[in-house]
């Protein structure tokens, strides 16, 4: 950071950037932060594992046609996201140590699926809860737009493109950041920032259906075990098919009742 500030001070075309950083520093001095990052880093840096490899691989098999063969990127994601520290500062067992692995991690962050980001964020929340930390998982300060209005800052306004516009621009299947940036008429840096904030579902249709099943299985289980709905009732209520509900429950170790034996429901004669 000291080197960056020295470079900004020497460059005449960066005066407004330096001014914006001063406004940010003043804002933090006045209002502080709801997150104690020093405490988080002290707790997370010595930790060699955040998520069980088996749980991650099971999720990958359900969501991706070419799933990531190991957990090398999910572990540093859970370290990086709540601490704000670069992933190579994590425990050596999970830190991406080589330049190639760091580039792979960056690619993972911008291509993460929503169905992957949700359990990873939940895991980060669980880690904080284990230590009695009630702070938000992530946070960013918001400066008064009026104070930035007259400044000439490089690049586009980060919030000038909505999540809906981003998701519409991301193609199904494999894609490059350059493609997304071109579709949105913006820079690759802006596209990377947007994807890190709003993960896009770029998976093929078959895997989108699998993701939907993964997000609904908990509700289906409740309807089946607690509300005693039949498999067909569940399928009708959720607008899906019996051929989807039945194997999903079996795959998630839900014991199925014999046909026609729903508790609390009169048998047909």
3-state SS class at 48: coil
Q: Are residues 49 and 119 in the same domain?
A: yes
Tell me what pLDDT residue 21 has: 92
Chain-centroid distance of CA 244 in Å reads 26
List helix spans (H) across the chain.
2-10, 15-31, 37-44, 53-63, 74-83, 99-111, 114-130, 145-148, 163-169, 177-184, 188-197, 205-225, 231-238, 242-251
Q: What is the pLDDT of residues 234-250, one digit of tens each?
A: 989 988 888 888 888 88
Total number of domains in the chain: 4
Domain boundary among the residues 83, 111, 130 is at 130
- Does residue 227 lie in a domain region? yes
Q: Are residues 198 and 212 in the same domain?
A: no
Residue in 140, 143, 151, 153 with CA at minimum distance from that of residue 27? 143
Q: Are residues 219 and 238 in the same domain?
A: yes
Q: How far apart are the first and last CA of the chain?
A: 78
Tell me the residue range of the domain where 26 lies.
Answer: 2-32
Here the tokens at position 149 are: 């209005």
209 has a pLDDT exceeding 90? no
128 has a pLDDT exceeding 90? yes
- Does residue 137 lie in a domain region? no
Residue 96 CA to residue 86 CA, distance in Å, equals 10
């Amino acid at each position: 950071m000291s080197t960056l500030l020295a470079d900004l001070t020497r460059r005449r075309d960066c005066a407004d950037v330096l001014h914006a950083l001063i406004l940010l520093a003043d804002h933090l001095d006045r209002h502080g932060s709801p997150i104690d990052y020093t405490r988080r880093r002290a707790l997370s840096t010595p930790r060699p594992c955040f998520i069980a490899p088996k749980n991650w691989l099971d999720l990958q098999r359900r969501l991706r046609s070419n799933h990531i063969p190991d957990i090398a990127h999910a572990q540093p994601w859970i370290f990086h996201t709540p601490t704000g520290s670069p992933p190579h500062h994590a425990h050596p067992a999970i830190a991406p140590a080589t330049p190639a692995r760091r580039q792979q991690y960056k690619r993972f962050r911008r291509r993460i699926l929503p169905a992957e980001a949700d359990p990873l964020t939940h895991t980060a929340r669980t880690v904080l809860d284990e230590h009695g930390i009630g702070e938000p998982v992530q946070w960013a300060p918001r400066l008064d737009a009026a104070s930035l209005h007259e400044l000439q800052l490089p690049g586009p306004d980060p919030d000038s493109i909505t999540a809906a516009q981003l998701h519409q621009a991301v193609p199904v299947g494999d894609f490059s950041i350059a493609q997304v940036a071109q579709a949105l008429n913006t820079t690759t840096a802006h596209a990377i920032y947007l994807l890190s904030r709003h993960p896009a579902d770029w998976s093929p249709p078959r895997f989108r259906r699998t993701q939907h099943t993964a997000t609904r299985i908990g509700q289906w289980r409740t309807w089946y075990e607690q509300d005693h709905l039949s498999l067909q009732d569940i399928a009708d209520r959720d607008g899906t098919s019996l051929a989807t509900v039945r194997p999903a429950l079996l795959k998630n170790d839900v014991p199925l009742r014999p046909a026609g034996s729903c508790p609390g429901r009169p048998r047909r004669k």
